Amino acid sequence: MNTLFSKGISVQKMLFFGLFIATFLVSSTTSTLLAQGITPDHVAKMKSVTSSAISNDGNFVAYTVSVPADAFKENATNATHLYVLNTATGESKPYFTSSGVSQVQFRPGKETLTFLTRQSGDSSNALYELSLTGGEATKLFSYKTNISNYNWQADGNRMAFSVSEKDDAPKTPLTYSPDFYEENFSQRKGFIVNLSGNNPQPQQLNVEGSIYMMNWSPDGTKIAVSAAPTSSVDDSYMKQGIFIVNSSTRNVIATINNEGKLGQMEWSPDSKWLAIRGAKDIHDPIDGRILTVSAEGGKPQKIDVGYKGKYENISWTSANTIHFLASESTSSVLGTIRPDGTGKQVIFKSDAHHITSFSRASNGAMSFTANSPQHPTELFTLATTRNATPQKRTDNNPWLSEVKLGKQEVITYKTRDGAFDIQGILMYPLNYQAGNAVPLITVVHGGPEAHYTNGWLTAYSIPGQMATAKGYAVFYPNYRGSTGRGTEFTYSSQGDLAGKEFDDIVDGVDYLISQGIADKNRIGVTGGSYGGYASAWMSTYYSDRFAAAVMFVGISNNISKWGTSDIPEELYLVHSRKRIFDSWQWQLERSPIYYVDRSQTPILIMHGADDPRVHPAQSMELYRHLKVRKPELPVRLIYYPGEGHGNRRSGSKYDYNLRMLQWFDTYLMTGNSKAEKPDLDLPAGK
């Protein structure tokens, strides 16, 4: 047996030994399935491609790979390494792996790559340059604080960049200074610098507020800048405006009257127009529409208004062509559209790939990053020839070819009110036999403005193929309010927190029970953020339907959530659509703590101790109510120090993964809600 897989099994055997003895479900067959399937050890070392940029001539693709740290050696975030693919030979080479990189770009007019990184001796991150022929990276430019983002002008010499700078601390005669909450935001400032000389001097843009995005016009005379009144998260979501800045005077010369969320702004080749990927209006929870506007200012006009999908990325390729990446329910689409919304064409559509980004060369060749039910995100290229087939260029997890995966498919079911057909993804247990009702884990996405695509759906907090190896089915519902199906569907959950949106999830469970797939007595649920809200709701309001729950960074009390979150205005504008001070009782009745008296679902609650989005007290409130009102119910609360709205470090991710699976094995696989809580100890090592 392969040593790698042996190590993965030993961890699980040690961790779950007592449970395995206690249940009749463990057999030699189960052990064989574990050997064939994905384990937490696999997930802990899984690599993925995170970005790509194709050279203008299409001969090279620069791409980045996310590499996890060893959870048994350090509790660290993933490193991001730079590689370059020669598209003609198919050979990939590591170009920069000594430290993490971000924002890789081809420098215009040069045979070089530029990126942000922090090397030994750097007091902050800096812009480095590396020749396509290899060699040592050279520092091009640094600032006194970290560079947030940068954008090259077409001449390859001038660069726009932004940084975050804190105001001077208030003066005090004391030996310490208090924290002035929301009065000491860092301000995001924008600059232009010419790197062709020996002593580059940054010049600040005269734009009020905090700057987020900057994009040079192709003719170099203007810069499109997005800015919000402050650098608060709420303002960055809901109040980013677009300003056109003269690159010589650095003054604002035109204002774009956009509203709502903003994701991207791209110049037309003649520098006269902007294409914007943004919101339909102030109540749109996503930046998934395309709008166009004159560079002289005015109100952007929506194109392709009735589109039943979500635009994910856009790029002008000629005066009359915009390339796009879009989501259509569980599928991904690459295509083109004219700036007036006509002439839409599909270049490539896949029902079994989740395309995450794309880059296009001047000759039409493309690179894109995508995952599938068979693998995490890898690099693909698409040639210019008609009806070309994408080529998968990387294989960062070759061990996957030796591991068996559960079958994955898209399912469709109708809601109880008949309003919608809901789509979701279903994974079957390994070697599933039709007609067998098996334990089901329901995985609820956050947002709710998000959706599951038919791609790779296994991660440290998403049981996926780890669960199929243990005999579970796994269900990913795209309940109403999810993205990828047009604005009507996305808006359909607003003003109805935990209402029909969460009923849709239960309707999906009922559908799988009716199909003889899910065991009605062994239904589990998990999710993070809004998915954590759903997990809490299912273990209180719908508790009679769920045998086990794992709640992550979730909401339990909408009243205190509003008062402790960093996005109170977004919560109103794109979710509740009611001011909390006008709807106290309604907000309370849409809170899981209100229904704790119904609770009979063993629940594991986990939260980042430094979460600014959903305060850790949300988890504590549910825990405390359950402990006082349902003392006999198995409940556990775990905080992860140093983590925020989701775990980023190797050790805390691995720990979360093991405890999630441990909880489901204890209460869901057995269906025994009175089982003893799992031991707190974890194995000492692999």
- Angle subtended by helix axes 530-538 and 500-514, to nearest 10: 60
Residue 319 backbone dihedrals phi, psi, to 5 degrees: -60, -20
pLDDT, tens only, 538-570: 999 999 999 999 999 999 999 999 999 999 999
Q: How many CB atoms lie within 10 A of CB 649?
A: 19
- In this structure, what DSSP letter does residue 93 have? E
**Whole-angstrom distance, CA of residue 598 vs CA of residue 13:** 35
pLDDT, tens only, 196-219: 988 899 999 999 999 999 999 999
- In this structure, what DSSP letter does residue 680 have? S
Same fold, 143-168+184-300 and 404-667: no
**Whole-angstrom distance, CA of residue 588 vs CA of residue 594:** 7
Give 176's contacts (C-beta < 8 A, 6+ positions apart). Answer: none
How would CATH label the architecture of 143-168+184-300? 6 Propeller (2.120)
CA atoms within 13 A on the CB side of 13: 14
pLDDT, tens only, 443-499: 999 999 999 999 999 999 999 999 999 999 999 999 999 999 999 999 999 999 999
**Whole-angstrom distance, CA of residue 356 vs CA of residue 653:** 22
Residue 364 backbone dihedrals phi, psi, to 5 degrees: 100, -10
* Model pLDDT, residue 686: 55
Contact 623, 635 (CB under 8 A): yes
pLDDT, tens only, 366-380: 999 999 999 999 999
pLDDT, tens only, 99-140: 999 999 999 999 899 999 999 989 999 999 999 988 899 999
- Stronger pLDDT, 135 or 62, i.e. the higher one: 62
Helix (H) or strand (E) holding 414: strand 408-414
pLDDT exceeds 80 at position 22: no
* Model pLDDT, residue 684: 64
CA distances from 155 to 102, 265, 390, 433, 575 (A): 22, 20, 32, 62, 44
* Model pLDDT, residue 26: 37
Is the domain spanning 404-667 CATH 3.65.10.10? The answer is no
CA angle 446, 452, 456 (to 5 degrees): 115
In 3D space, the residue among 232, 241, 163, 234 whose CA is nearest the CA of residue 202 turns out to be: 163
**Residue 577 backbone zone (phi > 0: left; psi -120 to 50: alpha; other: beta):** left
pLDDT exceeds 80 at position 32: no
Residue 345 backbone dihedrals phi, psi, to 5 degrees: -135, 145
Contact 254, 243 (CB under 8 A): yes
pLDDT exceeds 60 at position 33: no
Give 569's contacts (C-beta < 8 A, 6+ positions apart). Answer: 234, 237, 238
Instruction: Report residue 185's pLDDT band, with 50, 70 and 90 as the boundaries.
Output: confident
Report the mean per-residue pLDDT for the chain: 93
Q: What is the mean pLDDT of residues 46-50?
A: 98
Pairs from 71-75 (Cβ < 8 Å, separation ≥ 24): 71/44, 71/650, 71/651, 71/653, 71/654, 71/655, 72/685, 72/686, 74/650, 74/651, 75/649, 75/650, 75/651, 75/652
- Cα Rg for the chain, rounded, in angstroms? 26
For the chain, the structural domain boundaries read 143-168+184-300, 404-667
- In this structure, what DSSP letter does residue 565 have? -
**Whole-angstrom distance, CA of residue 553 vs CA of residue 50:** 24
pLDDT, tens only, 303-339: 999 999 999 999 999 999 999 999 999 999 999 999 9
pLDDT, tens only, 270-311: 999 999 999 999 999 999 999 999 999 999 999 999 999 999
* Model pLDDT, residue 685: 57
**Residue 394 backbone zone (phi > 0: left; psi -120 to 50: alpha; other: beta):** beta
pLDDT exceeds 90 at position 180: no
CA distances from 179 to 46, 119, 163, 170 (A): 39, 31, 22, 10
* Model pLDDT, residue 166: 84
**Whole-angstrom distance, CA of residue 356 vs CA of residue 399:** 23
pLDDT exceeds 80 at position 387: no
